[in-house]
Amino acid sequence: MSSKKPKNSKSPAKSNPMWGGQFASGPAGIMAKINASIDFDKKLYAQDIKGSIAHCAMLAASGIISKKEAADITDGLHKIKSEIDSGRFTFKEALEDIHMNIEARLAELIGDVAGKLHTARSRNDQVALDLRMYVRDMSLTIDAFIKALQLALITRAEEFSSAIMPGFTHLQTAQPVTLGHHLMAYVEMFGRDRARLKNLLANMDECPLGSAALAGTSFPIDRMLVAKTLGFARPTANSLDSVSDRDFALEFLSAAAITAMHLSRLSEELIIWSSAPFGFIKLSDLFSSGSSIMPQKRNPDAAELVRGKTGRITGSLMSMLMTMKGLPLAYNKDMQEDKEPVFDASLQWQMVLSAMTGMIYDFTADKKRMHALANQGYSTATDLADWLVKNLKMPFRQAHHTTAKIVKLATDKKCTLSQLSLTQMQTIEKRITKEIFNVLTVEQSVASRISYGGTAPARVKEAIFAAKKKYL
């Protein structure tokens, strides 16, 4: 057996200068690499500095540090933010994370008084606060992105409130609907996505700072003051829960995954509708690409990429769930893995929403093609059955059976239902009258669907008016 040591064990990394006491030497090289999070958690710098300024103000208000010390600390923190904003700040992996990088730089700027900032708090409650504020900020940003997509859908729905197209179940022609009605379905889906974000914001409206490592602190701090300063309704109620809770991140990722699923469904429809067999819509060059070998191709790549991002965003949710599922209270280093899924999902979420908004405004619709296909597949068969129920007082199941026979007759004769003669229909049901022809066109079918939430153009216009008031 070789006695040669692994490469990473030869030269321990330099000890973190922020530690003291028992740590005389640094960690192994690989330990330093896996332990450091600064490459990604530097994204939290604005939240970290904002939380530190609020904590500092509270320490001064509570008499724990002097007003002069608080002023020096606050001034230093503002300078650090300016440095990071302008790209002049040097992040050091040896300092592990954003908290220690900022604290070390603060010490360089104002001296030992910088160490007083960490009184009555821990990195555990600090990072819980930072991520919570990041999720809060991103939730508000993404809500605006979803609202913009709803506006696009409502705008196009208004344009196509009377444009007839085939409605599908099992991707088979079912009944005629309007394109406006179809687009408004997604307005409602995205409305629920926004409601999930609103619920998330309400659930996470608590400030964990002041919980310290896990047990609270003996200092006479004012957690309510910090919470109010940072825009939270209240402080968290249990210090153990405060530092180990990542429910808010899981809710955020869950909402992201559900929105991505909705976007994927809409993407799939845009892809299908733009294919040659359908030909309902066309996406411009802005959202399409060509083929390297087939010059006739126009590929709906933007829609496919939006659809493809669903797996990535859902993967972020799964990653977070697996990270949290077996952790005892309170903080565990596993939880360092909570940030990258949130960061990536928030970026992808904004990207796919922007792309879809662009595609909705971009597509052109072939109304004649949609209307022609709505006339195929005997899409007004249900209207015929409903007529039998209303006018001949048939039980619906019997009307369904009778209508199926009439559809078969039309199929055999290779014609539409409205092209059958009255005499031909009467061979199936002798009581049918000429009034049957008042319900067999797609225009008549769509206009008749007047129930609340139905596809009748009048109802679609009502839905658009209501959606503008509710969502925009």
Alpha carbons 284 and 225: distance in angstroms, whole number: 54
Q: Of 308, 261, 260, 266, nearest to 283 (Cα)? A: 266
Alpha carbons 59 and 282: distance in angstroms, whole number: 61
Q: E strands within 240-363?
A: 281-282
Tell me how many degrees the CA angle 307-164-406 measures, rounded to the nearest 5: 110
> 67: burial class by Cβ within 10 Å (0-12, 13-18, 19+)?
exposed
Task: Tell me whether residue 291 is one of the annotated catalytic residues.
Answer: yes
> 26: burial class by Cβ within 10 Å (0-12, 13-18, 19+)?
middle
Task: Tell me whether residue 170 is one of the annotated catalytic residues.
Answer: yes
Instruction: Kindly give, in sequence order, each residue whose CB lies less than 8 Å from that of residue 19, ignoring residues fewer than 6 positions away.
Output: none
Amino acid letter, 256: A
3-state class (DSSP) for residue 157: helix
The one catalytic residue in 170, 218, 292, 451 is: 170
The one catalytic residue in 66, 275, 291, 421 is: 291
Beta partners for residue 172, in sequence order: 169
Catalytic residue ranges: 170, 291
